[in-house]
């Protein structure tokens, strides 16, 4: 019990960060939250979120995520909405995610590391490494027609669930369980604890599953993409294969989040 109390005090101090409005927001009852199986998470801005034994972990995780990133829950401008009864969080852009399938949303919707300009209306975006559907939904929000590809079956299933929560945006999203790189079939390692960090270059650490791998040339032909605009890559080492594909010259913009996981290093 002493360890739990010390951990909660540490968290309480750690998450005293300013919100987007400039004030500070904290968990008022951290010790009670960690000890009790059912109750309320009380925030210093007056917002309270109920939890029970089944929802406690996901609710607390989302609250800590919000405090760490200066997010406030509510219905005002720049505030995120939390539907704890249905387990859904909604970003300030109005994009919905399952709470237990919402990770790294700060990168996409706050830091906007995938931002590639506001003028994406009616333009085609190919995003490889679609993770939990955050990047396809992000680009669709800005008006793009999106082709998203995610090789990890865990992330892919979560992406399907999240995209279904956004029916309007989903109209312009095509999502497939493909790896992007070279044509063929690969043994893809599945990390049950961090599906977003999975990579073929971590093979040997986890159980593998057979996944279709397709080159950018094949993707363009398969989906009859006549005028691709943006190629967004976050594929954990396989980007070194993609950049040698002659078809990337058809894109007007290329964004690469590279990783030194390739066997070339």
pLDDT in tens, 10-19: 665 655 555 5
Q: How far apart are CA 249 and CA 239, in angstroms?
A: 15
| Token pair belonging to 97 | 């995610």
The lowest-confidence range among 6-20, 66-80, 232-246 is 6-20
Last residue of a domain, one of 69, 85, 101: 85
Residue 239 lies in a domain: yes
Round the average pLDDT of the chain to a whole number and report it.
Answer: 84
C-alpha atoms less than 13 angstroms from C-alpha of 47 in its C-beta half-sphere? 20
pTM of the model: 0.86
Is the domain of 80 the same as that of 129? no
pLDDT > 70: what percent of the chain?
82
pLDDT at residue 200 tops 70 = no
| Token pair belonging to 129 | 């490494």
Q: pLDDT at position 11, please?
A: 60
Is the domain of 50 the same as that of 136? no
Average pLDDT over residues 190-198: 64
Q: Give the Å distances, CA to CA, from 93 to 51, 57, 89, 195.
A: 25, 25, 11, 25
Higher-confidence position of 167 and 101: 167
Q: pLDDT at position 191, please?
A: 74
Q: How far apart are CA 176 and CA 13, in angstroms?
A: 42
Residue 174 lies in a domain: yes
pLDDT at residue 148 tops 90 = yes
Q: Quick check: helix, strand or coil at residue 85?
A: coil
Q: How far apart are CA 65 and CA 71, in angstroms?
A: 8
Q: Secondary structure of the chain: what % helix, strand, coil (to 5)?
A: 35, 25, 45
Residue 213 lies in a domain: yes
Strand partners, 213: 179, 184
Closest CA to 240 of 250, 248, 229: 248
Number of domains in the chain: 2
């Amino acid at each position: 019990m002493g360890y739990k109390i010390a951990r909660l005090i540490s968290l309480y101090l750690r998450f005293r960060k300013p919100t987007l409005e400039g004030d500070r927001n904290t968990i008022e009852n951290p010790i009670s939250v960690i000890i009790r199986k059912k109750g309320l998470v009380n925030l210093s801005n007056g917002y309270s979120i109920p939890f029970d034994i089944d929802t406690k972990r996901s609710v607390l995780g989302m609250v800590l995520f919000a405090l760490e990133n200066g997010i406030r829950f509510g219905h005002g401008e720049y505030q995120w909405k939390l539907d704890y009864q249905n387990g859904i969080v909604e970003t300030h852009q109005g994009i919905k995610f399952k709470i237990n399938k919402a990770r790294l949303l700060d990168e996409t919707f706050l830091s906007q590391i995938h931002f590639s300009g506001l003028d994406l209306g009616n333009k085609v975006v190919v995003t490889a490494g679609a993770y939990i559907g955050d990047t396809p939904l992000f680009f669709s929000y800005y008006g793009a027609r999106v082709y998203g590809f995610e090789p990890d079956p865990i992330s892919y299933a979560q992406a399907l669930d999240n995209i279904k929560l956004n029916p309007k945006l989903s109209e312009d999203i095509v999502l497939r369980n493909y790896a992007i790189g070279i044509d063929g079939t690969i043994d893809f390692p599945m990390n049950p604890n961090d599906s977003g960090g999975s990579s073929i270059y971590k093979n040997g650490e986890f159980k593998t599953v057979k996944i279709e791998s397709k080159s950018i040339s094949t993707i363009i032909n398969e989906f009859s993409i006549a005028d691709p605009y943006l190629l967004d890559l976050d594929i954990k080492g396989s980007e070194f294969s993609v950049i040698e594909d002659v078809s990337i010259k058809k894109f007007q913009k290329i964004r690469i989040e590279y990783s030194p996981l390739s066997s070339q290093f």
